[in-house]
Amino acid sequence: MKICYFDAFSGISGDMTVGALADAGAPAAALLDALNSLNTGARYEIEKTSRRGIAASKFRVHLGDSSRAHRHLSHIVRLIDQSGITPRAKTNASAVFTKLAEAEAQVHGVSIERVHFHEVGAADSIADIVGACIALDLLGIEEVHVSPINTGSGTVQTEHGILPIPAPATALLLAGKPVYARGPELELTTPTGAAIASALGAGFGPLPPMRIASIGYGAGDRDLVQQANVLRALIGEKTRAAEAAQVSVMEANIDDSNPQVLGYALERLMEAGALDVSLSPLQMKKNRPGTLLRVIAKPEDQERMAQIVFAETSTLGLRIYSAERRVEERRIVEVETAWGNVRGKISGLGVFTPEYEDCRVIAAKNGLPLREVLAVAAKAYLNKD
């Protein structure tokens, strides 16, 4: 599977996205030809530049007088449908605009049909969103992943006056996603960039396991002193290589909870998507026996897991720190036994481990010792052709 990873360490905007994808190998001539089929009256170009010494591509839109009109969602979707871009690019671009319209509608308390896009309705922002979808299609990207997003901080001047950063629509679009603010006090992530990430992003977090084929940098408007104002796009094949990823580890020492409550909390955390949860005995202050609760989770799930711990246990505090998690490559196979098929995991080193649940069901159904079923399943794998 070919994937794209957007590294938004200096934020993300529509023009930065197009520039990064063009810089990573999306054919500029084909991209610009497809954009011209929108018939917005605008002219487009991609130029080479640099930001803090990093070579990058800058996507620019030159507007004509007829291209500055405000538009509703229905007008924009019709414009996209009537263009000459591919069906996949049309679908993705319409999905991004719909996501953006939903956020704007919620911010202004109106129906989605009544949303005026204002700044994002102009031809430059239409070009940004549609251009990003065209470039992803030209590169054959099947899945998009996004890093935690640097939103910037301070305030921004809009048609609605001065607003805090992230702007209201941007904040809504990034709800539930990992974000932070670092660097100069200005808008690093725009509503257009947030809409692209939110609508097309299949996952948010550290770099997924992949074999990198190309890297591109899309330049923002300003050349900042504090950091390279670029969006990095890494293009490559998703791999099944051993995973090395950052995880959040959350711990709490608990000495006043019912064991049944702790057991239920463990179940809730696992059902909510924790990578692992464990309970360990320990001796606490005043010689009280207690329990160490440890939760390992994806960074983007950290706050959700913390809320479950506080809701389901008596702890008043959590220790949270980052750690690197390495996972050996593995695949699932099935082996045949006299009692039925048993699934099992094979590690990258070729070690077969029978699936406990499958073996447990067979043992209970046939009145057999579990260890016997495990041994037979392991032998069946070794005897496979």
75 has a pLDDT exceeding 80: yes
pTM check: above 0.85: no
Q: Looking at per-residue confidence, does 127 or 244 come out higher?
A: 127
Here the CATH number for the domain that contains residue 343 is: 3.10.20.300
Of 47-56, 113-122, 139-148, 265-274, which range is least confident? 113-122
Q: Give me the domain span that covers residue 65.
A: 2-238
Separation CA 222–CA 2 (nearest Å): 31
C-alpha dihedral sign at 204, 207, 208, 214: positive
248 and 374 within one domain:
no
Q: What is the DSSP string of 12-75?
A: --HHHHHHHHHHTT--HHHHHHHHHTT--S-EEEEEEEEETTEEEEEEEEE--GGG-----HHH
31 within 8 A of 131, measured Cβ to Cβ: yes
- pLDDT band at residue 120 using 50, 70 and 90 as cut-offs: very low
- Average pLDDT in the 311-323 region? 93
- Average pLDDT in the 129-158 region? 94
pLDDT digits (tens, 9 = 90+) for 234-273: 999 987 655 556 789 999 999 988 899 999 999 999 999 9
367 and 311 within one domain:
no
Task: Output the pLDDT for position 182.
Answer: 92
Q: Read off the tokens for 184.
A: 């100069």
36 has a pLDDT exceeding 80: yes
Q: Which of 179, 206, 238 is the last residue of a domain?
A: 238
Q: Which of 327, 348, 374 is the last residue of a domain?
A: 327
Show the beta-strand stretches assigned E in 76-220: 143-146, 149-150, 155-158, 161-164, 179-180, 201-204, 210-219
Show the beta-strand stretches assigned E in 255-339: 276-283, 289-297, 319-327, 330-337
Average pLDDT of the chain, as a whole number: 90
151 and 116 within one domain:
yes
46 has a pLDDT exceeding 90: yes
- pLDDT band at residue 115 using 50, 70 and 90 as cut-offs: confident
141 and 232 within one domain:
yes
Q: Read off the tokens for 344.
A: 């099992």
Q: Looking at per-residue confidence, does 317 or 69 come out higher?
A: 317
Instruction: Tell me the β-bridge partners of 55.
Output: 50
Question: How many folded domains does the chain comprise?
Answer: 3
284 has a pLDDT exceeding 70: yes
252 and 123 within one domain:
no
